[in-house]
């Protein structure tokens, strides 16, 4: 059983999307409507095409130049629509795709039930920060719209959540790995790169997980993180 | 004549696009090719439409949700194309627009002549940083591709270069305004918000300036910055 030495902890970091608030379901809903648009042009069953695979293939192809976030998602949806319909998609449907992306960029923030209570309890004892990936403006706007900004000493919007990125943040904070704990919903981005550094991590899974973030938990032999159901459970450890 | 008290300076900050390397001409070239595409559908002279104005209007309209950078530029071009052609634009031309944006995201960095010499001379005496706005991944990728990253202690990619943003950076560095100097090509983003705080600024104009950044220098009564022709001239002051 993994333990956390709470006497050592100085900085508690939260992921944002799907850790502090609901995010992925907005993308899922947009995808569902996107597939409906495509089905006007291509009979899914007849040609056996799987639009999900086409879209994910484009997202992966574009990730190195677009990065994470809604703008890249919109552009990958448009490219997928062009290819899938053999460039026959109508302008009005392209506009619908853009509008769906704009909705994602403006959605009403729905904070998870125990988040604010947890942040309030932590802020007196620790430096609390937020580490999130995605579009800079979009992520900062969501923190602002959530009203949770006041709990965070800093909000780091990063391109990739790998050990190098976490190490850079630890260096900036002038702390050791054992003084840091990360809380998030993604094993790939919030948990494994953090425990790789010897730092602490809480994993709070959500039902909807983006395919590009998915890691099968059963494949992890040496689990150095603590799995929770709700954010407030971190208060049992910190 | 504005002077810089070089004994006090601790941190020297550079803007990136069009200060360290050529950037705006790539956008201008894309715009020119974009207008050519539109002219296949709409006779510019007959209906008197000005595509430049249409594009800029969309860029301004979308700025608060897309932010600065090439991805928002691509999406604004697509929206402009849809509207201008009354949604008749063909899929293949939408793909051309996306490809033009992808070219901007991968252009070969062309560093201005005296930049590296200047950075080398400054790095021994000062903390040198980069402050740039745009898409996070794109801006960090350009710094990496330029090979200039080694000269910067930190690269700040920000949403907006206003006095509040600069103040936040000064707070993070724990320095006073008189200990800071900013170098850049935009009066609006690199110079005026910095001198507003009582900090120092060098203005190095370039020929191509994005319309949304344009400030008529003649309208500034009290010029608290120093205007230069080339980056290496900062070494006469620092």
* Inter-chain touch B89–A90, beta carbons under 8 Å: no
Give B53's contacts (C-beta < 8 A, 6+ positions apart).
Answer: none
Interface A:B, Cβ pairs < 8 A: 88
Angle in degrees, 0-180, between the axes of helices B70-84 and A91-104, rounded to the nearest 10: 140
The β-bridge partners of B227 are B203
Collect all residues of chain A within an 8 Å Cβ-Cβ radius of residue B136. 67, 135-136, 157-159
pLDDT for res B219: 86
> Would you state the pLDDT for residue A47?
64
pLDDT score at B217: 87
pLDDT tens readout for residues A169-190? 999 999 999 999 999 999 999 9
Contacts of B25 (CB under 8 A, 6+ apart): B208
Nearest to B90 among A74, A87, A102 (CB): A87
Which structural domains are found in chain B, ordered by start? 11-21+109-236 (3.40.50.1000), 24-104 (1.10.150.240)
Q: Which residues contact A98 (CB under 8 A, 6 or more apart)?
A: A74, A78, B75, B78, B79
Give the whole-angstrom CA distance, residue A176 versus residue B163.
33
Taking the C-alpha atoms of residue A139 and residue A178, their distance in angstroms, rounded to an integer, is: 27
Q: How far is B115 from chain A (nearest CA, A)?
A: 26
Q: Which residues of B touch A87 (CB under 8 A)?
A: 90-92, 95
Separation of alpha carbons B121 and B95, rounded Å: 45
Give the best residue of A101, A103, A137, A168 to mutate against chain B (max B CB count within 10 A): A137
Which residue does chain B place closest to A86, by CA atoms? Answer: B91
CA distance A91 to A75: 14
**pLDDT of B221:** 83
Are the Cβ atoms of A157 and B137 closer than 8 angstroms?
no
Q: Residue A207 CA to chain centroid, in angstroms?
A: 13
Contact between A137 and B67 using a beta-carbon 8 Å cutoff: yes
Are the Cβ atoms of A94 and B75 closer than 8 angstroms?
Answer: no
CA–CA distance, B191 with B175 (Å, rounded to integer):
18
Q: Is B165 on the interface with A (CB under 8 A)?
A: no
pLDDT at A46: 63
Nearest residue on chain A to B158, judged by CA atoms? Answer: A136
- A90 CB neighbours in chain B (<8 A) are 87
Looking at beta carbons, which pairs linking B188-195 to residues 24 or more positions away fall under 8 Å? Answer: B188/B161, B188/B213, B188/B214, B188/B215, B189/B15, B189/B133, B189/B161, B189/B213, B190/B15, B190/B19, B190/B161, B191/B225, B192/B220, B193/B161, B193/B162, B193/B163, B193/B165, B193/B166, B194/B163, B194/B166, B194/B225, B195/B224, B195/B225
Interchain CB contact of B221 with A (< 8 Å): no
Per this entry, what is the length of chain A? Answer: 238
The pLDDT of residue A37: 95
Instruction: pLDDT tens for chain A, 238 residues: list them.
Output: 578 899 999 999 999 999 999 999 999 999 999 999 999 998 765 666 668 999 999 999 999 999 999 999 999 999 999 999 999 999 999 999 999 999 999 999 999 999 999 999 999 999 999 999 999 999 999 999 999 999 999 999 999 999 999 999 999 999 999 999 999 999 999 999 999 999 999 999 998 777 777 888 888 888 899 999 999 999 999 9
The DSSP 8-state label assigned to residue B68 in this structure reads S
CA distance A152 to B164: 17
State which residues of chain B have pLDDT below 70. 1, 44-50
CA distance B65 to chain A (A): 7
Residues 66-85 of B with CB under 8 A from A: 66-67, 71-72, 74-75, 78-79, 82, 85
The verdict on a CB contact (< 8 Å) between B87 and A82 is: no
- pLDDT at residue number A1: 56
Q: Does A237 touch chain B (CB under 8 A)?
A: no
B205–chain A Cβ distance below 8 A for any pair: no
Cβ A24 vs Cβ A18: under 8 Å: yes
Phi and psi at B174, nearest 5°, equal 55, 50
- The whole-model pTM stands at 0.92
Give the pLDDT score at B218.
86
* Residue (of B157, B30, B54) closest to B102 by Cα position: B30
């Amino acid at each position: 059983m993994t333990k956390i030495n709470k006497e050592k902890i100085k900085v508690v970091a939260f992921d944002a999307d799907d850790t502090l608030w609901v995010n992925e379901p907005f993308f899922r809903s947009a995808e569902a409507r996107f597939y409906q648009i495509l089905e006007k042009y291509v009979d899914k069953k007849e040609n056996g095409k799987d639009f999900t695979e086409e879209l994910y293939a484009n997202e992966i192809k574009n990730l190195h130049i677009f990065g994470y976030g809604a703008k890249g998602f919109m552009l990958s949806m448009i490219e997928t629509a062009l290819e899938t319909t053999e460039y026959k998609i109508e302008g009005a449907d392209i506009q619908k795709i853009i509008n769906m992306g704009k909705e994602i960029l403006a959605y009403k923030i729905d904070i998870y039930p125990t988040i604010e209570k947890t942040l309030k309890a932590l802020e007196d004892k620790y430096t609390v920060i937020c580490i999130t990936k995605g579009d800079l403006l979009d992520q900062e706007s969501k923190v602002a719209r959530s009203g949770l900004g006041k709990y965070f000493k800093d909000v780091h919007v990063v391109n990739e959540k790998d050990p190098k990125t976490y190490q850079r943040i630890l260096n900036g904070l002038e702390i050791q790995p054992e003084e840091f704990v990360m809380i998030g919903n993604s094993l790939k981005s919030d948990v494994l790169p953090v425990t790789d550094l010897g730092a602490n991590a809480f994993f709070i899974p959500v039902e909807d997980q983006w395919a590009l973030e998915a890691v099968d938990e059963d494949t992890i032999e040496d689990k150095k993180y603590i799995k929770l159901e709700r954010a407030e459970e971190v208060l049992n450890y910190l």
